[in-house]
Amino acid sequence: MPLLQVSQLQKKYGNHEVVQQIDFHINQGECVALLGPNGAGKTTIIKMILDINKLTGGQILINRNNHGEMRKYIGYLPQHPTFYPWMTGKELLKFMGGLSNIEKEVLEQRIHELLELVGLNGMENQPIGTYSGGMKQRLGIAQALIHQPKLLIMDEPVSALDPLGRRDILDLLKVIKQKSTILFSTHILHDAEELCDKMLIINKGKLLVNGSINQIIQQTQKHMFIIQAPRISEWSNQLVNEDIVESIELTGNAAKVRVKNIEQGRDWLLRNITNLHLPIQKFELVQESLEEIFIRMVKSS
């Protein structure tokens, strides 16, 4: 049985359907990325799982229970965590632990372990107002883990950080994922590719793809030819309406040509190039990258 089961999830605001009958599940120990462009519906889905936003339709089960009763199983880091600046890091963790009814002796040990985990040892008695953005994000992760949740949910955990802070948090999440189940939203494909076991790609409230990186590549990847020649734009204009050609992208004197059938497409392109005496400098068969798959799917949805 999955740790998190989402079935036919729907959210409407008036007549506007922002989440459309989405199904997915997360198993214990998985790290899953909720991936999509800004405005795709990622935060709305997260807030419904957290029972902050009410469902219009569908069902969410966490650890086999109705999610509205099971917040104790979830740790949450919002996109822009805010803290009382006069509190110290340790005071915040004590406060959050108290809200979770953790016994004092257990809480002290838990705080010590988390401060070491997130790299804030020696800074726990400093006011949070003096923390950098990366330190606040680390503290936010610690407070989300204070009650040892079964599922850690993070909304755009590195979007507001500089490159060094972003790298620190990504490295930290690699450690956390070894012992935790994680769902995090992002619009940065590289972060998802680096961290996750599975991806959920959404756009305009619709689930486009659900699977591991290998599954997504195998199921959705298209082959394409990169053709380079001096008169490539004139030649490519003649291909737009050809049935065998799926799409053409021009970059300088090179064209990326996606075809519907790889064998027939190769033979047809070579014959066409030969008949037109196009002075090609490069003719290469390549596979789409994960980023190219993502962009293609979002644009076509």
Percent of the chain whose predicted confidence (pLDDT) is above 90? 50
- Which whole number is the average pLDDT over 2-10? 93
What pLDDT band is residue 69 in, cutting at 50, 70 and 90? low
Top pLDDT among 223 and 274 is at 274
* pLDDT at 127 (0 to 100): 96
* pLDDT at 286 (0 to 100): 87
Give the number of other Cβ atoms within 10 Å of residue 181's Cβ.
21
Q: Which of 104-113, 202-211, 250-259 has the least mean pLDDT? A: 250-259
Positive or negative torsion for Cα 99, 103, 109, 110: negative
* pLDDT at 67 (0 to 100): 56
What pLDDT band is residue 301 in, cutting at 50, 70 and 90? confident
Kindly list the structural domains of the chain, giving each domain's residue range(s) and its CATH number in brackets, ordered by start: 4-212 (3.40.50.300), 221-300 (3.30.70.980)
What pLDDT band is residue 66 in, cutting at 50, 70 and 90? low
- Which whole number is the average pLDDT over 269-292? 87
Percent of the chain whose predicted confidence (pLDDT) is above 70? 98
* pLDDT at 68 (0 to 100): 57
* pLDDT at 300 (0 to 100): 81
What pLDDT band is residue 96 in, cutting at 50, 70 and 90? very high
213-220 helix and 290-300 helix, angle to the nearest 10 degrees:
60
- Residues found in the chain: 301
What pLDDT band is residue 74 in, cutting at 50, 70 and 90? very high
- Which whole number is the average pLDDT over 62-66? 75
Q: Assess contact for 92 and 36: CB atoms under 8 A.
A: no
Euclidean distance between CA atoms 167 and 54, whole angstroms: 34
Closest to 255 measured CA to CA, from 281, 277, 276, 274: 281
pLDDT, averaged across the chain: 89
Predicted TM-score (pTM) of the model is 0.84
Positive or negative torsion for Cα 180, 178, 28, 183: positive
Helix ranges restricted to H, the chain = 42-49, 89-99, 104-118, 133-145, 163-176, 189-195, 213-220, 232-237, 262-275, 290-300
Tell me the three state secondary structure of residue 254.
strand
- Which whole number is the average pLDDT over 103-118? 93
Q: Which of 61-75, 102-116, 129-143 has the least mean pLDDT? A: 61-75
Please say if the pLDDT value at position 78 is more than 80.
Answer: yes
The arrangement of strands across the sheet holding 245-251 comes to: 245-251, 254-259, 223-228, 282-287
Q: Which of 69-73, 119-123, 178-182, 207-211 has the least mean pLDDT? A: 69-73
| Tens of pLDDT, residues 25-49 | 999 999 999 998 888 999 999 999 9
| Tens of pLDDT, residues 161-190 | 888 888 988 999 999 999 899 999 988 888
Q: Which of 67-71, 94-98, 253-257 has the least mean pLDDT? A: 67-71
- Which whole number is the average pLDDT over 2-9? 93
Q: Assess contact for 26 and 2: CB atoms under 8 A.
A: yes
